[in-house]
Amino acid sequence: MFSSLQIPMTSNFIDSVTKQFQYYKLLGERTFEQLDEQDLFWQYNEESNSVAITVNHLWGNMRSRWTNFLTSDGEKEWRERDKEFEDVIHSRDELLRKWEEGWQTVFSALQSITPENFSTTIYIRNQGHTIIEAVNRQLAHYAYHIGQIVYLGRMMKGADWKSLSIPKNQSKAYNAEKFSAEKHKAHFTDEFLDSDKT
């Protein structure tokens, strides 16, 4: 049984994390847009991951963790994690296809969470998580890897890199604009996600 308070709490949580996942997805895509095709496969050395390898790992993780999110262990028997770190993506189109497939699995699973099933225990390698713990675990994991993708992009583009956040030496102007507005309720990702729709 769930209380009436769980309805807005569940909705607020899912809305918030969905926006944050969308934000990190957008950061990855804005990085891809700035890179030439060969840049997607560049590795600093043999032990480091390229953008394409990192995307392949994210794809594998997303499919495993979010397929049947509420009813099966997040580490699927069919997952081949070690192969996620091999050079198996060979084109931008393939990279984008896997990227979209992985994220679609994430967002579909998030939409399946309701107040009625919010108390479900989520298992990952037989370790039980609350839904909040399981979702936050993946949010942090994806932010970690997308940060790597962005950093690789910035290294490769150098002075030609277009900032994905507040550009250098523009913090004061940015803050002045924000503090000139009345206090209001908003999600920090709104301006980034809304600008992507225009």
Residues contacting residue 53 through CB under 8 Å, at least 6 positions apart: 43, 84, 85, 86, 87, 89
Cα angle at 140 between 137 and 146, to 5 degrees?
A: 135
| Model pLDDT for residues 153-162, shown as the tens digit of each residue | 999 999 999 9
- Residue 79 has, within 13 A of its CA and on its CB side, a CA count of 22
Q: Please tell me the least confidently modeled range out of 12-26, 35-49, 104-118, 169-183.
A: 169-183
Rounded to whole angstroms, the Cα distance separating 155 from 91 reads 21
Domain residue extents for the chain: 6-197
Topology of 6-197 in CATH? Four Helix Bundle (Hemerythrin (Met), subunit A) (1.20.120)
| Model pLDDT for residues 89-99, shown as the tens digit of each residue | 999 999 999 99
Average pLDDT over residues 39-50: 96
Q: Please tell me the least confidently modeled range out of 48-62, 102-116, 178-192.
A: 178-192
Coil vs helix vs strand at 124: strand
